[in-house]
Amino acid sequence: MSDSPLDSHPRPALFLDRDGVLNEDRGYVSRWEDFAWIPGAREAVAAFNAAGWIVVVVTNQSGVGRGYYTEDDMHALHGRMGEELAAVGGHIDAFYFAPHHPESPIEHYRHPDPPDRKPNPGMILRALADWPIDRERSVLVGDKPSDMEAAARAGIRGLLFGGGDLKRFLIDEALLLA
């Protein structure tokens, strides 16, 4: 896997939204058979790993709170993602997820303004507390304005990904060398 969060040497972090950035956003993706990687996503993660960055996924998962699938289903999907990333020399250092939603039919997941649910910055702030992250050199890549707002509220740079090849996008943004 990766370095321990106890390693105190600050490094930049690549924060990634999941649906729409790492995988095609097909609406509440929870099963591997519904999952499809965004072109260049696996290679981008592996390149940032090789460059010494911490790679963190921050993903709203209201499908859990809405009762469409379980946390176990989501963790299983993330496990499969990890297996596929390992095949190309990549890994995710940590997954942070926000299952809460103001309209959740499941009381445990109902919250009027979930602190972790983007555009709130809770997931990012937790990662900044958990890992030796250099905030000034870190960036969040998301596909929605709520991702950009969460990044701004956490004090990190946000990049709005409009689709296409993720690795090419990150090269064009001068975050990766070609």
Catalytic residues: 17, 19
Facing residues of 14 across strands?
55, 139
Annotated binding-site residues for Zn(2+) read 100
Q: Which amino acid would we find at residue 8?
A: S
Phi-psi region of 10 (alpha: psi -120 to 50; beta: other; left: phi over 0): beta
Q: Measure the CA–CA gap between 42 and 90, rounded to whole angstroms.
A: 7
Tokens encoding 115: 């602190």
Annotated binding-site residues for Mg(2+) read 17, 19, 143-144
Residue appearing with tokens 């321990």: 4
Facing residues of 110 across strands?
101
Annotated binding-site residues read 17-19, 25-28, 59-62, 100, 117-118, 143-144
What are the DSSP E strand ranges found in the chain? Answer: 13-16, 54-60, 94-98, 139-142, 157-160
Annotated binding-site residues for substrate read 17-19, 25-28, 59-62, 117-118, 144
Contact 116, 123 (CB under 8 A): yes
